[in-house]
Structure 1
Amino acid sequence: MIWERAARAFWPLAALACLIFAALALGGAVAVPPALLPWLVGAGLVALVAAAIRGGLRYRRVRGGEAVARLDRTLPGRPLAALADRAAIGGEGALWQAHLAQMQGRAATARAVPPRADLAPRDPYALRLAGLLALVMALIFGGAGQLGQGIEAIAATVGRPLAEAESPAGPSWEGWATPPAYTRRPTIYLNALAEGEALELPKGSAVSFRLYGEGLSVVQDVGGAVGEDPQAPGFRAERSGAIEVAGRRIAVSVLPDLAPVIRAGAAPTRRADGRLVQDFVAEDDHGVMAGRARIDLDLASVDRRFGLAVPPEPREAVDLALPLPRGGARRAVSGQLVEDLARHPWANLPVALVLEAVDGIDQTGSAAPMRVVLPGRRFFEPRAAALIELRRDLLWSRENAARSAEILRAITWRPEGFVTDDLYRDLRGAVGVLEGGGLSVEARDKLAEALWAAAIQLEDGGLADALERMKQAQEKLSEAIRNGASPDEIQRLMDELREATDAYTRMLAEQGRQDPAERFSRNQQGQQITGDQIQQMMDEIQRLMNEGRMAEAQQLLEQFNRMMENLQVTQGQGGEGQQGGEGDPSMNRLADTLREQQRLSDEAFRDMQEQFGEGRDGQPSGNAGDLAQRQRDLREQLGQQRGMLPGQGSEQGDQARRNLDEAGRAMEHAEQALRDGDTGGALQDQADAIQSMREGMRALSDMLGEQGRQAEQGQQPGQEGDEPEGQPGQGNRAGADGATRDRRPMLDPLGRQLDGNGNMIPLNDPLAEGADPAQRARDLLDEIRRRSGQRERPEDERDYLGRLLDRF
């Protein structure tokens, strides 16, 4: 009740005090003209006094009886008042005692009454909230410096009339020195300086005065004047000197602003993807504001032959912004410039690189010029390299148009088996443009882009040379591993090998008219290889390189090379050698369903990426319902295909059906996850469905292959017979000694010798049991690592596990 009555009485005083404090903390006193400031101060004081008097008159002291009555009103039947009553008649009777007992019980339930000031009816315009908001803004955005300046300004303004009363002819003044914002130094109030105290200012500081009275002036020799108001003179501090105002002399020492210093690291390097990488370090006494790299052609160092013999056309220097941290003082920064200049006409030509840093007053510091070759993409395919050279010559000068047309004609002569039809038409069109005469800048730039695209197609495309590209990628990766190349370069070459391998398998697929990811393939020795096994082997090579086990990665890479050289595609037309059973209608229908499931999984993954990219944090998109319906259709389609599978009652046929049942359940879970918006869970279920379908197709393929071999040997399905050496049934064994034709042993992911030539683990090997032998081998190795790290295991066991890891 004390708080309630105090709030009702003194809320205007509190709101007014908050407003006045906010005005001072936010610099309001300094912004008000000096002539108006005393009136505002006086009005504020009068308002505070009036609010305090009003509150004192309205406040009433809380008495004990009022507190009891307030509490009693919250209880049913006013028990406190009832307990204070006295019975006029029959005070000792049982009825009266029962009444008192009842009131005591109710009084025992009393609880503290929460305060309630009810200020809304008393403050209909919410002035109290305005004062509270102003206080919060002042605490967040205000500062002690501004509060002090405001108090000093009020003190000076209020004190001036007193001084004038003592000395009526004495004028007054105020002054401020504001350093440049980039120095992050506070404003200095000159009136607060002690007599004889020197003033130190950074170069470029703004000094301003406010003169009160007649006959006052400011005399200074530290910088040029700013503004024309004689009552408010201002200037910038550029040199040391003195300021005199109203008989007072202030010595000023201007601190020099040193130019920034920037140093380049080592010469620019070429990243694996062809980007320029340049390290730098920059320093400044007040902070680096900007940085740039300027690249000019070093014409004196250019080999002026062939297309570079003619004078170059004028071209502006390359100006690149250096990356700087967003926050902080930036007095000392280090960074790295990464830029893709592979398409620039000066790529792979001598250039002069200069790094520059700029401070807050536009002073520039430069590093010593570096004479380097501008990094760019390298082209290894001869035709692509020739097109890039033609592009460079055209961008060097349009006078090379006739010469470039002749060379382009030579490149496109007899294109059969050398250049694809689409690329040939594009290049012949470029010849016509070059020979047309009057090549404009726009046409030249357009032609340069076309030549770049053609070179990229020749360098990275060309399915006709896919096998050669794959061999080259394998050789470059092997050489990089042997020479200890950087991890970045090895990773780039590994990516090139993946791309080349994919291109080669696509070429084989076009020959066989099948999808390499969905069919069973085999090498010339008759050993079956799946697209998954190829990918698993690539992943194993990548894992070994990531772990630093380069010797093992090199050995597995050589095994992979021999496997891919012998790779062929099963045509799937039935008859001799068709072990995979790809020509069977059931297999074809399952392959189509598997492809559709993979496409659906890819779309679900892209949808999840878009969800998080748009900031929806996994919220379901509008496409989720469509994906779920398509998943349902695939599940029903798979159920129909399962009922039409051949081989019912056989071990492999029943295994295929069980695998398809598991795939159907995984599809059902994926459908529900898509409807619930759980895209991540749906992707996992879809991956399980794909794996189960592949296992079912593998079992069905084995069954069809066995039936085909039995038919060739004149046996009924299910009969046993010996297969002569060298027949397809023996295809999984290259030799009893477990070596390849070059007698080098083949090893599995655990380092053990394989019976075949490394393309797959033999069926009678224990690791072949289960759905994925390579994955099982990796799981076994991971389990060995896990157990070897458990200190609670016996030392003998951990020593044994350590020897296993050293061997494998």
Structure 2
Amino acid sequence: MADTDGMKAINAKVSATWRKLTLFALGRAFWPLCVFACLFIAMALAGVFDRVQPAIGAVMTLVFFLGGALLLLRGLRRYDAPTRQSALEALDRQSDLRPLTSLTDRPADPSRGAQTLWRHHRARLLAELGNLHPPSLSAAWKALDPYFLRAILPAALVAIAVIAWSDAPGRVYRAFAPDYGALMGADDMVVEAWITPPEHTGRAPIFLKPGLNDVRIPTGSEVTLRTQAPSAPSLVMKGHKTHRQAFVATPDGAYEAKAKVMEDTRLSVRWWGARAAWRLLASPDDPPTVKFVAIPSIGKQDRVEFTWSASDDYGVTGLELAISLREPNPAAPDAEDRVPVPLPGVTPTEGSDTAQLDLTRHRWAGLPVNVRLIATDGAGQEGTSKSVPFILPEKLFLEPIARVAQEVRVTVLREPRPYAELPKNEDALHQGALNTEAANRLAAAPPDVQKAVLMLDAITYKGEQYMPDLAAFFAFRTARGVLAAASTKEEADAVDPLLWALALKSEYGSSADALRRLEAARKALEQALRDGASEDEIKRRMEAFKEAASNYLAAKMAEAIANGMQDAPANEDGQQSAGGPNLGGQDFEDMLKALQDLTETGATDQARQLLSDITNMLQNLEFQKGGAGGKGMPGMPGEQADNDEDLPPEEQELTDAMKRLSDILRQQRQLNDDTLAQERGERPGQQSGADSGQQQGQQPGGEDPSGDQQAGNGSQSGETPGEGSGDSQSADNQQDGSGPGQSMTEGTLAERQARLGELVEKLAREKGLGQGGEAGDDALAGRIDPDAMEDIRRAQRQAEEALNRGNSRSATRNQEQATQLLSEQSRELAKALDAIRAARNGEGDPGNAKDPFGRNASGSGSNGDNVNIPDVGERQRAKDILDELRRRYNDAEDEDEREYLRRLLERF
């Protein structure tokens, strides 16, 4: 047992000695490498590599790795690993007895005495082992490390690490992984990056700056990166998956990469390391929402009316009314038609409007259907509303020819089944062969198309003998030929426009064609306004609409004369309605001029509403037989206008007052235009814009600059024209100083304004309209407001004072106020005069009297008053703003600014 314990002690001392010898051997072999590594790490912890240029840092790291490798090889070559035997010898040398070596000896004499002596010798050796200790190598270490760096360097590293603390890991990492690309010039790379949002978002491009993170962009945006580099970098996109793509060389010697961002993504440009990096957050594009605010109903002229509202985060680009049969045809159970619904503006984010759709021509007109709204955004996503049951309105045809044409038409259109496949005739390739199968295409037609052909055969059987209108007979035969020659359902549907035109002409006469052209012109102009077409395109369609309106008026007039009207009635300006330069009086001319101004200034919402009102007025146009002579139009004078002396006193008094008030209003408007021209630096009497080249001078008996007739020939803006525009009115003009003897265009603007004020005062004195008093004439009692007359005069005086001071802007405001008040009083007189005439002619309730455009003569109809039309000054300012935007766009040199201005011009 004692022997065993002695061996354990020996082994422990030998192991300790071996470890000391090994450590010293390692230190002696790798001491330069350790000092070199400690110095490098100390420099890293101190942030030296962060302060030097990237290229210098990369060189320092490479030098460290190279020097470290050399020192490591040197140490491996110089390292002499101690053995256990050398450790035994180091211990054994501490005693002259050499106990470790002697214990391995064996006694040579096996006698008892010799064994006893050997035991005493062994006990002495074991006792000597207690005096043996692992050797001290301090002298060797001192010789190897005289400056005690083995303790100083670790302590210095710990101290520097404590000072760096949280920055220590990053500094060490950057020191061992420097930017090696800097040695290739990568640190001079400049990466330009920008985000182009989808077009439908309307957002401007987003430029990515270095170090910018968490940039919020729309989903589907395109990122573009450009850089200059010796070779092609790579683009790394990390989202749910990692995508890598190489840059592509451009003609200018740069490298470019483009990619779509559909999710949260981290972008990085890598070329010998990451050259630039950004984190992009993609905002989802939600589908649009749409609903019925008011369910569809049948309105005027069998139009489908409904109110809707829609919204989208970036704007609704399209709205459609989806129509499906409530009881679908088994051959097409999923059949659905979509009808476009006009949008109020360009891609509204939130919109609500009342739509009026003419669906009487739809193939399912008169059938029960389900309708729903479908809104589409710029990304093509669709949002739908709840389905609503409805019965599509159908046009009522009373004429037999029209009813037959409609019946045949819908029979063909409602057939959902296609044509059958015609069998191939192999014998048709032989000479003299006849392909009878191909010649009889009706045999392959669906049942309803064959039924339509039988209907046409029946209606046209000997039709040339009993049909009074041979054009209808030939139209039916043409439709029959189209169906017989058709080989597809699309070709058979080509009879739709022919039969529809025949039905309309048979039912409504020749004006139906003009009405169709008018509706087509209106739709084209409305489409251009809604889509933000170019200025030239809108102007072209505006001219087409005016021409279609003129043709429609002429057609309606021709029908009225054919139906018993002896002569074409005079319009509000005393000109013939059919073919005259004015389409329906000064009121209608003003509305057309206002519509043109609205289209030129980009006020699309007001322009579309006014366009709708003008079209409704034209469509409601009715000519009726007048008074004694059988000519005239509702709300307009007949032959009695030629004999003012035959009018009752009350009507005569109202007519005279209205004529004079209308003349003052016309001249006040002309003065307003001249004041605006002076404010813009133009010569009064000239127009700007497209009409600047036209002469605007006023001549006796001609037209004034605003397009009105000379005094006494018409009324303004909804006023009913006075009667007897003959010598009495000329005498009044001479008396008031506005006739040929003294033109109202003579003198300065202030003098002209003063003369107009005198005319208002004269009218008030003659009719007993003092300030705060009542009308002196019984006819005018309650017709003209004395306070309103005083307000008119006050506004004119303020305008005169402003003109004398040279303040054109203030004068314009007061003149517009005077014009508005004069127009209101003129309309009140017109209503009263219409009511008196209706009562005198026995027309019943005067509130039901109609003017030539189908409006209530009392002014309660849709005459465009519900449209907030900007005044002349506002329209001119809008034109000036658009001209300035165009000028800046043409002069801009910066591409970003030009893009921004282009977007503004396209939107407005």
TM-score w.r.t. the length of structure 1 is 0.36
